[in-house]
Amino acid sequence: MLTGPFLVPSQAAAEVRYVRKGGDGIDAKEREVVDISVFQQDELLTVVDLRPGAEMTAFVEFATELDDGEAAACAMAVVRRGALVSDDRKARNVLSQRSPNTRILTTCEMMQTWAESVAISRSDLAKVLRDIEERASFRPGRNDPLWEWWQQIMNTDSLAE
């Protein structure tokens, strides 16, 4: 089981800006600002700066191949002996090459773990995943180990329940 708070490097937090409103209205594709302070107040997320020394050195090394948010997240995962949550294929590949023992999780894995821990109904989970697809423009790739799980949930007729 995964428990928070989850650490988010300030570089990655700065990249989180907008999601779509979603839904069926004419404004569904309009963007709205993401406010992560709610998650910080609920102690689910903690935004942190990179530490000087090993973490900053690792960041510089990762930044030669990755953007700042992914480079900072990889550096923190390695130096703090944590896990990386990322669906970015390049970040996952670079991290697994440089630090093969660092755990890497996908959005699907996070959602499956969360769904099991809160015992959410299949119908409600389908709505959450649909929101992720519509509002965050995220769909797992076919190579994701849990792609079939996501598809099975998404095929749930949530409107019938």
Question: Is there a single domain that holds both residue 122 and residue 100?
Answer: no
Q: Has residue 29 been placed in a domain?
A: yes
Q: What is the pLDDT of residues 51-68, one digit of tens each?
A: 999 999 999 999 999 999
Instruction: Give pTM, 2 decimals.
Output: 0.84
Question: Is there a single domain that holds both residue 86 and residue 136?
Answer: no
Q: Tell which residue, 99, 98, 108, 121, has the closest CA to residue 150.
A: 108
**Cα 6 from Cα 32, distance rounded (Å):** 23
Question: Is there a single domain that holds both residue 23 and residue 36?
Answer: yes
Q: Over 89-120, what HEC string results?
A: HHHHHHHHHHCCCCEEECHHHHHHHHHHHHCC
Q: What is the pLDDT of residues 92-129, one digit of tens each?
A: 999 999 999 999 999 999 999 999 999 899 999 999 99
